Amino acid sequence: MPDPNQYRAPEDLLAGRVVLVTGASRGVGHAVALACAKHGASVVLNGRDVALLDALYDEIVAHQWPEPATLPLDLGTAGEREYVQAAKLIETQLGRLDGIVHCASHLEKLSPLETQSIEEWQRMLRINLIAPFAINQACARLLRQAPDASVVFTSETHASAPAAFWGGYAVSKAGLETLAQIQADEWSAQEQLRINTVVPGPVNSPLRSKTHPGELAESLPSPEALEPLYLYLLGPDSRGVSGQTFRFQP
C-alpha cells in the first residue's frame, strides 16, 4: 500500500461519483469538498450556514467542475426523519451515492468534567457521533448499490489519547472510532463497501483556533495538506482497505 499522505490522485479519480461531505463550509470539510469536485465528483455539500454553502457552490461552478448540490442540514437538531429525507433527496437529484466524508465536528469548550453540562454533551454527541451513525444508516441502501463505496470518518487525537478538559468531545470521537470498527466488521463480507478513519492532528482550522487561541496559525499545516489522504480513501486505489485509522503525517 502506498503512503496515503503522499498519494498523487489522477485528475479523474472520482469522475462520475457522488460524494457527500458534511461540515463542508469550513476547515477540513471545505478543503475535502473542493478536492473531490476538482477530481471529478459531484459533491453534496452539507453545513448549517447557507451563505457559506452557496459561496462554496459558486466556487466549484466557477472552476467548471461537476455541479454540486447543497444540503443545509443542522446535524445538532436533525432527527431520523430529516436524515431519511436527505438520503431521498440525494437519490432523487443525483441518482446515486458513492462516498461519504464526515467532517462536521463540534466542541463546546475545553473545561473540567465538573463544569460540563448535559446539554453540552448532548450537542457534541449528536454532531460528532449520532449524526455520522444516522447518515450512514439512512444512506446504506444507496451505498450498497454503488460498485465501489467508501465512508470516511474524521476523528481527533484525543480519541485515543484522552486528557483533562477534553471531556465530551474526546468521548464522542472515541465512540466514532469504535463505530467505524463495528461498521467495518459488519461490511466485511461486502467487498464494495469500506469505512476508514482519518485523524488530522494539528491543522490550521476553526476548531484548532478555538482550542489553541495563542498558537500561530501559520505554523500549522493547512487543511488542503490532508487532501491526498482523503482522496486515497475515497478512490478505487484503497478498495479492500477497511476498518483502518490513518493519522496525517505532514
Active site residues: 169
Say if CB 95 and CB 87 are below 8 A apart: no
Alpha-carbon distances of 105 from 130, 176, 178, rounded to whole Å: 11, 11, 17
Say if CB 201 and CB 6 are below 8 A apart: no
Residue in 165, 157, 91, 82 with CA at minimum distance from that of residue 126: 82
Residue in 28, 27, 133 with CA at minimum distance from that of residue 75: 133
DSSP conformational letter for 65? P
User: Exposed/middle/buried for 147, CB within 10 Å: 0-12, 13-18, 19+?
Assistant: exposed
DSSP conformational letter for 194? E
Say if CB 205 and CB 28 are below 8 A apart: yes
In this structure, what C-alpha cell is assigned to residue 79?
Answer: 432527527
Say if CB 122 and CB 166 are below 8 A apart: no
